[in-house]
Structure 1
Amino acid sequence: MFKTLLLPVALAASTWLSGAQAAEPLRIGYVMAMANAPVIVAQKLGYFQDEGLAVDVKALGDGPVIQQALAAHELDVAYVGTPPVYQWYARGLKSVILAKVNYGQAAVLTRANGPIKTLADLKGHKLAGVKKGSGMDVLLRGYVLKENAKLEPDTDVEIVDMPPGNMNAALERGIVDAAFSWEPFVSQALLRGSARLLLDVNQALPQYPWYVVIGLPETLRDRPDDVVKLLRAHRKAIAFLNEHPAEANTIIAEAFKLETVQRADGSSVSGEEIVAEARKRLGWSAELKDADLQFIQRLMNYSNQLKFMDAQIPLKDLVDTSYLQKAAR
């Protein structure tokens, strides 16, 4: 009799433990950038919850921080720029690209009344950029300077490492002569009238992919259904961004606490208007097309040429779109 009483209790405990494990939140990290708006929208509008997916979403500073969190198994999936993915893959962190997040975002700015008129004019000047070897630095050195401007990054230009939030002030004060920045900082500077657009990368390289959704091999192995749910919510968020721009702009402006910008004529520009301006240089899509894969290969080539890595990684090992395809059903 004692054994028969224990059996239901044991079964109940087993069921409870199984349910607790199933309810374990999927830990999502993302770089706090406007281009990663889909994860913010999905959380704000309850798309993860609609899919029956418990999540723990964390905004982090940059790609290297996210990669370190993945390596420490503090995250399961992440929204991050492409270069850190393949650079860390070459070092042993075999995370896989599952979907695209956005296209565009970056631009080169110079002072509105400054002497620099072309990219070639950057020679001998100071340019605000980010940490050497980071994703945006790969794009700056590999494409903007070497390929487009025909300049040597380490000798022709003095690249000054600084946070993107400090670049506009540095440009206005003459600390630097140009800046390689991204949204919303580009739009804030342009709307204020303190800067001029020297190069819109998305215009030069239409719809180039940047942020992607990645997952660890163990996440894909142990939680494949949750990965599909995540990507289904991701698709819904992108559809909302594209189909309801005014409402989406409000969500983004609030998430990034975008303050009103004063134009040179004294008029004010709201946070929503800043986002609308930023949409001229970035957009959102989940699909990874052949052109996107070719650009990822191009970025890897830049990283090899710049000596940021020496490995050759086959795209078939780096990208798996099967989960995204399941999320479309």
Structure 2
Amino acid sequence: MKRILPAVLLALAAALPAHAEGTHPLRIGWVQSMANAPVLIAEEKGYFRDEGLNVELKGFGDGPVIQQAVAAGEIDVAYIGAPPVYQWAARGLDAKIIAKVNYGQAAVIVKADGPIQVPSDLKGKRLAGVSRGSGMDVLLRGYVLKEAAGLSPDADLTLSQMPVGNMNAALDTGVIDAAFSWEPFISQSVLRGAGRVVFDVNSALFGYPWYVIAAPAKTLKERPDDLVKLLRVNSKAIAFLHEHPEEADRIIARSLKLESLKAANGSVVAPEAIVAEARKRLGWSAKIEPSDRAFIQRLIDYSVALGFLDKRLNVDEIIDDSFAAKATAQR
């Protein structure tokens, strides 16, 4: 019997569904951005554990890389910008947005002592953005440059791509004249006195949604209870961000390994002060509002106009409110 038992157990294990709910950690991919702070708060405060949710967090540098991980089946759910989700749908990968994470985060920064005062002054200048076709690129080309600045992204300025972490140094050394960046990089530049915000997207479009929680059809079907738990965790973490801002800022600064910096007047700026500065341009909210749907539809339309999508999608095709409704009902 001792020799047979292991074989029997292996046979039984093989007969079980490979991805039944609860049989392996919920693999969460997240863009390592300050705007996705609810992930950091939930991990630090034990909210996943409190919900009985076994998770494996996997950090990524940007949305397109997460998109590849989702398509490869390497993660079950993503904290990601809305554009990759509708891009997935357009390319045949069935996935849904099930909750919001944050609003705001992006801005155009220029040299503090430079001549650029308004977005239209970017004409003829060198502007750095991130990967072509990414969500931030769509926002930059479709809204910031075309609508706000009245410029052609391809004809009126030199638009280059570089990692967001390299933009401040490139701006400092004069390699570029401006950068379309996000937090905490914006605040780090501003607090050092090196950079100046010339266009804050959240001031122009207050409360515009950016990061969302999205899951492919396989996860929606096989792990619905875990997704409901995840949305309760997300809401709880967002509430903590609002109710305990100073502690939350310390957690974010520590988790993102932010370092103190020296301001132009020689004073030292603590890491949590960088997070506090960033709150001027971003915030957190879980509920998908009608205005959020309208903005995501706007991004879809930009993507079509820019040639990044072959067909126009309806935003309602990529949002599923049912999990959020269950999460709210079960509180």
TM-score, normalising length: structure 1? 0.94
Counterpart CA distance in 1 for 2:248 and 2:186 is 19
- Kept in 1: contact 2:19–2:222 (CA 8 A): no
2:315 corresponding residue in structure 1: 315
For 1:197-208, list aligned pairs within 5 A. 197-208=197-208
Maintained 8 Å contact 1:109/1:178 = yes
1:141 corresponds to which residue? 141
Name the residue aligned to 1:235.
235
1:44 maps to 2:49: no
Provide the residue aligned with 2:259 in structure 1.
259
SS in 2 for 1:328: helix
Counterpart in 2 of 1:24?
Answer: 24
Counterpart residue number, 2:94:
94
Deviations 1:143-187 (A, max 9, x none): 000011000001101012111111111111111111110100000
Paired residue secondary structure (1:27): strand
Alpha-carbon distance in structure 1 between the residues aligned to 2:42 and 2:292: 23
Counterparts of 1:2-17 in structure 2, within 5 Å, are none
Task: Give unmatched runs, 5+ long, in structure 1.
Answer: none
Q: Which amino acid aligns with 1:80?
A: I
d(CA) in 1 for partners of 2:53, 2:23? 8
Residue 61 of structure 1 deviates from its aligned partner by 1.2
The alpha-carbon distance between structure 1 residues 18 and 64, as it changes in their structure 2 partners (threshold 3 A), is closer
What is the match of residue 271 of structure 2?
Answer: 271
Aligned residue identity for 2:51? E
Contact kept? 1:83, 1:134, Cα under 8 Å: yes
Match of 2:213 in 1: 213
Task: Give the equivalent residue in structure 2 for 1:192.
Answer: 192
Q: Quick check: 1:23–1:54 contact (8 Å CA) kept in 2?
A: no
Q: Tell me by how many angstroms 1:20 deviates.
A: 9.7
8 Å CA contact 1:146, 1:153 repeated in 2: yes
Matched residue SS, 1:74: coil
Partner of 2:108: 108
C-alpha contact 1:95 1:216 (8 A) present in aligned 2: yes
Residue deviations 1:173-231, cap 9 Å, x none? Answer: 11111111010000001100011110111000000000000011111111111110111
Equivalent residue, structure 2, for 1:305? 305
Match of 2:169 in 1: 169
Aligned residue type for 2:269: V
Q: Which runs of 5+ in 2 are unaligned?
A: none
Offset at residue 115 of structure 1 (A): 1.2
Report the residue type matching 1:111 in the other structure. Answer: K
What is the match of residue 160 of structure 1?
160
Letter in 2 for 1:55: V
Measure, in 1, the Cα distance between the counterparts of 2:117 and 2:233. 43
How far apart are residue 114 of structure 1 and its match? 0.7
Say which SS state the counterpart of residue 266 (structure 2) adopts: coil
Query: Residue 277 of structure 1 aligns to a residue in which SS?
Result: helix
Instruction: Report the Cα offset of residue 17 of structure 1.
Output: 5.9
Could you list the runs of 4 or more consecutive aligned residues of structure 1 that deviate by over 4 angstroms after TM superposition?
Answer: 16-21
C-alpha RMSD over aligned residues: 2.1
Q: CA deviation at 1:316?
A: 2.1
Q: Which amino acid aligns with 2:238?
A: I
Instruction: Give the AA of the match of 2:138.
Output: V
Cα offset for 1:103? 0.2
Q: Which residue identity lines up with residue 326 of structure 1 in the other structure?
A: K
- Deviation for aligned residue 1:18: 8.0
- Map of 1:125 onto structure 2: 125
Whether the 8 Å contact between 1:231 and 1:327 is mirrored in structure 2 is: yes
Read off the aligned partner of 1:200 and give its amino acid letter: D
Partner of residue 55, structure 2: 55
CA contact (8 A) 2:116 2:122 kept: yes
Q: Is the 8 A contact 2:104 2:201 kept in 1?
A: yes
- CA change 1:84–1:18 in 2 (3 A) is closer
- CA distance in structure 1 between the partners assigned to 2:67 and 2:17 by the alignment: 30
Query: Displacement, 1:280?
Result: 0.5
Looking at structure 2, the residues matched to 126 and 18 of structure 1 have their Cα atoms a distance apart, in angstroms, of 54
Distance in 2, matches of 1:152 and 1:73, equals 38
Cα distance, 1:20–1:67 mapped onto 2, change above 3 Å: closer
For 2:303, give the aligned amino acid: S
User: For residues 34 and 239 of structure 1, what CA distance do their matches in structure 2 show?
Assistant: 16
Q: Are 1:107 and 1:201, in contact at CA under 8 Å, matched by a contact in 2?
A: yes
Cα distance in 2 for partners of 1:46, 1:71 equals: 29
Superposed displacement of residue 141, structure 1: 0.3
Instruction: Supply the distance in 1 between the matched residues of 2:311 and 2:45 (Cα, whole angstroms).
Output: 41
Q: Which amino acid aligns with 1:136?
A: M
Query: How far apart, CA to CA, are the structure 1 residues paired with 2:222 and 2:85?
Result: 21
SS in 2 for 1:212: strand
